[in-house]
Structure formats: C-alpha cells, structure tokens
Amino acid sequence: MVKVVKRLYTFLIYLFLYAPILILMFFSFNKSRFRGNWGGFTLKWYKALFQDAQIMSSLYYTISIAIISSIVATVIGTAAAIGIYKMDRKMKNLILNLTYIPVLNADIVTGVSLMILFIFIKLPLGFLSLLIAHITFNIPYVILSVLPKLRQLDNNIYEAALDLGATPGYAMRKVILPEIMPGIITGALLSFTLSIDDFVISFFTTGSGVSNLSITIYSMARRGINPKINALSTLMFIAVLSLLFVINMRWNKNEKESVQ
C-alpha cells in the first residue's frame, strides 16, 4: 500500500510539472487559432513556423551561439579544470568556491553585470556580446563536469607516459584527454543545452537585430499567444529533452565506470 501511495504521489508531482507542456504540445496541432476550441489535427503551424523570417533568424543566432559558445567554453573549461586539479588544496578550494558562484548566482544579476561591463568597455551589444556572455556562464559547468573525471585518474599514468619518452603535450593529448573525454563531452552537451535555453542573460546582453529563440518567443507572447509559439516551444522542448537524456545517459555511464 505504501509503495502504491509513493508511486501515485510521484505521478501527481510530474503530472503537475508537465501537464502545461503537454497541453501546449497538444494545441500546437490544433487547426483553430483559439485555445478553447479543437478544430482538428493540422501541421500548418509548423509549416508557418519555418516560413517565418523572424523565427528563422532567431533560430540561426540560437544555434550559432550555442555551438560556438559550447566549443569555446569546453576548451577553456577543460584547461581550467586541469589547472585547478594540479593546484594545492587551499588554492583549489578557493578557486572551486569562485567557480560555484556563477552557477548559484541569480541569472538576472549575471545578466545585468555583464551588460554593465560591456557598456563600460564600450563593446556594442549584439552578436559578440551575446556570445561572450554565453561563453562566460557555460565555463563553470564545463569545469564542474571535467573535474570528477580528473579525480578518477591514476596520477601515475601521466608520469609513466613521460618516463616512456612522451613529451608533456603528447602525454596530455594521448593519455589524459582520452581518459577525461566523457566529462568533456558531458560539459559540452550541458553548455549547448544551457545556451539554447537561456533567456534572462541573453535579454540583457543582446542588441538590436540579434535575438535568440527565447527572446523571440517572449516578444511574440507579449502580443498574444500565436499558435506558432506552441509549435516552436514544442520543438525546443523535444530538442532540450533529447540532449538532457544524452547527458543523463553519459552521467550514469560515468558513475558505473567509477564504481567498477
């Protein structure tokens, strides 16, 4: 009986969380423009979505910034994680605490701070400022994804490679990086997902003519709920959910490998 109650309770929680999204997805196939009426099944809103120049422009900026920022953040974050791992205990704890701050900090504080910084250094708000902002908030997530894999490493592997004649650079490329690659890939996927999903920081750091999908959806919703928003939100939800499944699978695989 207790097990049934627990399962029912869990089901109700997830139903409460995901029912609005399911309703949105359901009405993305509604032929009628009005949410209260079901006019029949249709894919016309998805067709209209891909014919909307504003949305396609936002999609281009979203994907471009997500790919570039995740790659740059992964490179910087991986190098930073290796550097942090080699530090002494006190310095490592200090740097890790500083790394946690952007993760725990409110997005609105980060967004406003970056906007003020860009204005102070006279960097025009636009594609470059938006890209730098996404790289900035993605780096800590990469560091926190790579560090656990570094902790699992045998410290003697790198030294053994050097004793066998490998140069430090060659040993890093051929020995260390393959061992921590699962953490690097996880950090890259997480960065990509967060970049696509971000609204608050993007809102404060972008300029005229450059917006991602989150900002475009917000702008369209202020003029009333357009059925194209339902279609776009459905596609975004499926894309982010797919990436999160991949990240989850990699994390579970990493945990199993660490236990073995």
Query: What residues make up the domain containing 140?
Result: 52-223
Structure tokens at 50: 């891909």
Query: How far does the chain reach from its first CA to its final CA, in angstroms?
Result: 36
Q: Quick check: is 249 in a domain?
A: no
Q: pLDDT tens-digit profile of 5-17?
A: 888 888 899 888 8
What's the pLDDT tens digit per position in 205-224?
998 888 888 888 888 777 76
Tell me how far apart the alpha carbons of residues 117 and 243 are, in angstroms, rounded to a whole number: 32
**Does residue 44 sit within a domain?**
no
Structural domain contains residue 23: no
Is there a domain that residue 20 lies in?
A: no
Domain-embedded: residue 258: no
pLDDT of 64 = 93
Q: How many independent structural domains does the chain possess?
A: 1
Whether residue 2 is contained in a domain is answered as: no
Q: What pLDDT does residue 21 have?
A: 86
Residue 257 lies in a domain: no
Tell me, yes or no, whether 126 lies in a domain.
yes
Structure confidence at residue 54 (pLDDT): 85
Q: Give per-residue pLDDT as tens, 92-151.
A: 888 888 888 888 888 899 999 999 999 999 999 999 999 999 999 999 999 999 998 888
Compute the mean pLDDT over every residue in the chain, rounded to the nearest whole number.
85
**Residue 112: count of CB within 10 angstroms of its CB:** 15
Q: What is the mean pLDDT of residues 176-186?
A: 86
Q: In this model, does residue 259 exceed pLDDT 60? A: no
CATH number at residue 137: 1.10.3720.10
